[in-house]
Structure 1
Amino acid sequence: MDLDLDTVRTFVAAADAGQFQEAAAELAVTQQAVSKRIAALERNLGVRLFTRTARGAELTIDGQAFLPHARELLRVAERAVTSVRTGRRPLRVDVIASRGAATGLMRGFHRVYPDIELDVVMLFDIDTAVAAIRSGAIDASFRAVAMPGRPLPEDIESVRVLDEPLQLLTGPAHALAGARSVTVAQLAGHRIWMPGVVPGTEWAAYYDDLVAEFGLTIEATGPNFGSDALLDTVADTPALATFMGEQMRLVWPAGHGLRRIPLTDPTPVYPHSLLWHRDNPHPALATLRAHLAAAAAGLDAAGTWTPNWVTPR
């Protein structure tokens, strides 16, 4: 059985008004249209819903039984429409990982705009993120763009929002552990271990260029057991160090004695960009873009390095 929502809405309006004429005025249709809709609903249900009286129209016993269900049908329909209506659903943003700089940017946005509902998701690779933006599954994604030979589709917009300085992370027994800062040239010959660098990702393209530019050695061997296992290994292995972003939020046991050391001459910075579909009308997306633009500072600053394929500001 198919129930037409306009017909159900007409029934509820007539039940509330007690008169077809008043229901017609409320719905901005003719009284004849109301009568036809009610008659069609009665034929569909196989029962009489109203009894005509001198005072108007009164619900039959069947009409009284159907009324609460009719109201619920309309409520469900309204919730369904609201869930996808522009500006009424949460803004859905991909931040790649929970501890990275993009998550910090979104937390800052939420502090400034606590009334904007957010859904935060974590998608691994840029192809998945771009596909999700184009399908409407997400509204935006933080990425480093564009990788060599893989330009963004024409309907995807991007803007650089943060240049995040890299730091060297060492254990307490590493040869550079006591340094207040380290030049990139000083890292030549040292083993940098980054098991999370997966070929084909934008961060792999970034570190490939970093290695080629400065003659460094980055090892991505072994399974990636996550940041906690990485910290344990670096803390216990004097010959290993790793790179991480300045805004990466990590907590480690006091006994690890890990050091986060700034890199200089030049400072490699990881470029974070926001990606979105050019036809996305969600008003909160415009608010997010304006917020990030206002907060962006020091992009392409003197003394920093990024690969030449990175989208300029």
Structure 2
Amino acid sequence: MDLDLAQVRAFVAAARESHFGRAAGQLFISQQALSKRIARLERQLGVRLFDRDKHSVALTEAGRRFLEPAQQALAAAGFAVTEARRERRSLRVDVWGHLYAPMRTIGLVVENALGAELGLSRDLVAATTALGRGEIDAGFGRVPPLGEEFEHQVVRLEPVDAIVGPAHPLAGAAELRPADLRGSTIWCPAALDRLDFLDRFTIHFGLDAVAASVNLGLDHFLDQIRAEPERVAILPSGVPLPENTPLSRVPLTRPTPLYAWSLLWRRGNPSRSLDALRRSCDEATTQRGWLDYDATRHWLPDADRATLD
């Protein structure tokens, strides 16, 4: 019997979450697609793997027996892909979140990691898909909680600033608290369900947010801030603004929100080049103080703070 690993991956995710919807979200597929994969797997095995009701799913006895070897099969498949590609000359690292200029950070790291080259991914979904297929070795960007198929380490915690236009009533402020932004509209480069940090930030501080219709790059994004006086952008403090821009950059304090940049890879990847890149990340965080965090002065989403514990 030849097992379809996509079906096995769907089963493992559903078993871990006890919920088809959450499992589908982790795999970046629809719930209907996940249900179909599991149904095909059950037909092929000739056993029922889950007991289902309207609110949750639970493993059957057969499902409990199948779970551990299924996890081992996925790990073995990932290892096989890595071994087949071991002789590649360089380590491929794709980055996403280009509006926030991730190259400022990962570029400094790969300078000390021999044999690493950088590429571009459209977004986190594209990067995790490429990782799953073995097309890249690692990714770099903002990493929300993911399934057990992937591992990540936080490389940098970067303060964020408020960017306001010349007509905004807060434009002359030397600094702002996040709560001071109530009454303004946080202008987002994409829908909030695709922007984990901004979603959590606006909910935590009780702020209103609106998504741009299309992301055409930093200049276009900032032009929209300048055109609408009530809009505010939230950008990492190191993102350079265009020269001679009328926009103001105002630091956020009390607390200062921190944007977490992370290195992401597929669990079970034994690559020596990846190990070297991770060591380079560790050295950079130590030398540059990139992981400085004080709970009395800073704010992090719960998932990021848990990663640091």
Q: How does 1:176-255 map to 2 (within 5 A)?
A: 176-194=170-188, 196-201=189-194, 203=195, 205-250=196-241, 252-254=242-244
Contact (CA 8 Å) 2:255, 2:298: kept in 1 or not? yes
Gaps of 5+ in 1: 1-83
Q: Aligned residues, how many? A: 219
1:86 Cα deviation after fit = 3.0
Contact (CA 8 Å) 1:180, 1:261: kept in 2 or not? yes
Contact (CA 8 Å) 1:182, 1:262: kept in 2 or not? yes
Partner of 2:112: 112
Contact (CA 8 Å) 2:157, 2:261: kept in 1 or not? yes
Superposition TM-score, scaled by structure 2 size: 0.64
- Note closer, same or farther for the CA distance 1:180–1:224 as it changes in structure 2 (3 Å cut): same
Contact (CA 8 Å) 1:234, 1:240: kept in 2 or not? yes
Q: How does 1:136-175 map to 2 (within 5 A)?
A: 136-147=134-145, 151-154=146-149, 156-175=150-169
What do residues 84-131 of structure 1 show as CA deviations (whole Å, max 9, x unaligned)? 763651211111044535311222124335xx2333222233333223
- Note closer, same or farther for the CA distance 1:223–1:105 as it changes in structure 2 (3 Å cut): closer
Moved more, 102-111 or 165-174: 102-111
Gaps of 5+ in 2: 1-83
What do residues 161-191 of structure 1 show as CA deviations (whole Å, max 9, x unaligned)? 1112111011222211111111111111112
1:241 Cα deviation after fit = 1.8
Superposition TM-score, scaled by structure 1 size: 0.63
Partner of 1:91: 91
- What is the percentage of aligned positions where both structures have the same residue? 32
Partner of 1:165: helix, strand, or coil?
strand
- Note closer, same or farther for the CA distance 1:157–1:186 as it changes in structure 2 (3 Å cut): same
1:267 Cα deviation after fit = 1.0
- Note closer, same or farther for the CA distance 1:223–1:276 as it changes in structure 2 (3 Å cut): closer
Q: How does 1:257-276 map to 2 (within 5 A)?
A: 257-276=246-265
What do residues 31-82 of structure 1 show as CA deviations (whole Å, max 9, x unaligned)? xxxxxxxxxxxxxxxxxxxxxxxxxxxxxxxxxxxxxxxxxxxxxxxxxxxx
- Note closer, same or farther for the CA distance 1:87–1:284 as it changes in structure 2 (3 Å cut): farther
What do residues 14-35 of structure 1 show as CA deviations (whole Å, max 9, x unaligned)? xxxxxxxxxxxxxxxxxxxxxx
Structure 1 stretches (4+) deviating beyond 6 angstroms?
none
Q: How does 1:22-61 map to 2 (within 5 A)?
A: none
Aligned-partner Cα distance in 2 for 1:247–1:87? 36
Superposition RMSD in Å:
2.3
Aligned-partner Cα distance in 2 for 1:101–1:173? 26
